[in-house]
Amino acid sequence: MTELHDTLVEFVQVLRTADVKVSPAETLDAMETLDIVGIEDRLLLKNSLSMVLSKNPEEKEAFNTSFDRFFSFNKFSSENNAAESGEDNAQDDGEFDPESDAPSQQGGQGDGQGGGQGGGDEASEELDFDPLEAQSELGKLLLSGDRMEVMIKMAEAGRQVDVNQIVVFTQKGLYTRKIMEAMGLKGLQDEVGELQDQGDRPQMHLAGKLKAARDYLREQVRDYVEKQFFLHADESGKQLREELLKKVKLSNLEKRNFKDVQEIVFKMAKKLVSIHSKRRKTFKRGQLDIRKTLRSNMQYDGMLFDLKWKSQKVDRPKVMCICDVSGSVSNYSRFLLMFLYSLAEILPKVRSFAFSSDLGEVTRLFQQSKLEDAMAKTMRDYGNGSTDYGQMLADFRSHILKDVDSKTTVIILGDARNNYGDPKSEILREVYDKAQRVIWLNPEPKSSWTVGDAEMKKYAPCCHQTEVCNSLVHLERVVGNLLRVAV
């Protein structure tokens, strides 16, 4: 049962790689489930573990895929079931059978002896000498015909060489060799060499059988490693790629990466939704709610065991997002808008605006169109022309400022490069005075904020917060802090 528990722990690691959250307590529950339902009924085991280890439809889908791929070698099949399935199915299921025709024929061709002979008992009856038995441990195992034991040894060797750490497909040959060596390849090779050196017919016949069995085993190990790659490295490689895309500058992304980054944005937004979806209350310790405390402690004859503190309900914020969509910062704006609209469940009052000079509201466009179509139209309608932050602020004061109140968070994303025009920072000061928070996200490093036509030195004093923001990691941190403070 210990080996089964070890295998289950490996499976839990695979689930975590596939974004199924499994706690240590749930792992222990899964072990108890395994002890109760047993391994004889694969479907029962799958359904039982699914109930313990997956919590929502997305996780159940990932669980089903991971289970089918992880247990594709039927690690949980009993030896009795394997025996009952019989040697009749050996060639159909592709598993190793040293007495099958193909390996024996390969062996006959390999040693140059018995070229027309088949395998199995028929071939043994035609021999005019007593066949020898293998002496190496791996040779004995391969010629025993015990397919289940071969698979168990293969899995143990894979665990020994950490095949679950495979990262790239080019490592397939490396791990195949490591597993073969861990199973005892050297002993088998030495035995084959000694038999061939002796050169007699019985020795050559056994050497041919061992070489055929070795070659067939190598194919099985390759298949095993390949499946381990798709089980572990495929998901971990995807995670590695996601981590790299999170950190790369959004301006350096190519169009072919947009779909991947969009998926990452939705995943990050989903994570923030799960953290901040409940409307929380801020409890101010020290302000005792006398009525609730007395009512709650009546059952204790007036003894104050259960203290109740006054609480304040926190409303969800109104967010106004103003994005510079001129060529130099259009990618940053694209993904900030995508981020905010992915958070509609917990930020239902997002209003979005785009500009390069004149300011326009695109809230309804995003609500009524597909995300990509809305992005394309926004960039097309507002992304042309010379950047003019002063004109943008003037338009904001004329049409939007009246809607700003003490619950409004204004997020401005842009490089503040105004082509040496009037920055009209006094208008931003008016916004600062009315809004709850003004956050400026600048994709350029701080060393560039005062260089050339950049006006951040005038805009920064009119903001509650200024941040460098040029990657998905930065966007996630800024939006996460917004939710943490305001929701």
pLDDT tens-digit map of 157-177:
888 888 877 777 778 889 899
pLDDT tens-digit map of 32-89:
888 888 888 888 988 999 898 988 887 888 888 888 877 764 444 433 343 334 444 4
Quick one: which H or E segment has residue 182?
helix 172-183
Average pLDDT of the chain, as a whole number: 77
Share of the chain above pLDDT 90, in %: 14
| Residues constituting the chain | 487
pLDDT at 104: 39
d(CA 281, CA 313): 5
d(CA 255, CA 32): 49
pLDDT at 74: 42
For residue 54, the one-letter residue type is S
Q: What is the pTM of this model?
A: 0.52
The 8-class DSSP code of residue 316 comes to P
Asked if residue 366 lies in contact with residue 374, where contact means CB atoms within 8 angstroms, the answer is: yes
In angstroms, how far is CA 180 from the centroid of its own chain?
A: 30
CA dihedral 443, 449, 454, 460 (to 10 degrees): 90
pLDDT tens-digit map of 327-361:
767 777 777 777 767 766 566 678 889 998 889 99
Asked if residue 432 lies in contact with residue 438, where contact means CB atoms within 8 angstroms, the answer is: yes
Quick one: which H or E segment has residue 84?
helix 79-85
Question: Which range, of 278-282, 398-402, 416-420, 472-476, averages the lowest pLDDT?
Answer: 278-282
Quick one: which H or E segment has residue 303?
none
Every domain of the chain and the residues it spans: 2-70, 79-243, 282-313, 318-486
Q: What is the mean pLDDT of residues 212-231?
A: 84
pLDDT at 58: 79
d(CA 113, CA 329): 74
Task: Give how far Cα 401 sits from Cα of 118, 272, 290, 393, 435, Å.
Answer: 90, 29, 42, 10, 9
User: For domain 318-486, which CATH number applies: 3.40.190.10, 3.40.50.1820, 3.40.50.410, 3.40.50.300?
Assistant: 3.40.50.410
Q: CA gyration radius for the chain?
A: 34
3-state secondary structure 229-289: HHHHHHHHHHHHHHHHHHHCCHHHCCHHHHHHHHHHHHHHHHHHHHHHCCCCEEEEEEEEC
d(CA 232, CA 254): 27
d(CA 202, CA 97): 21
Residue 63, Cβ density class (10 Å: 0-12 exposed, 13-18 middle, ≥19 buried): buried
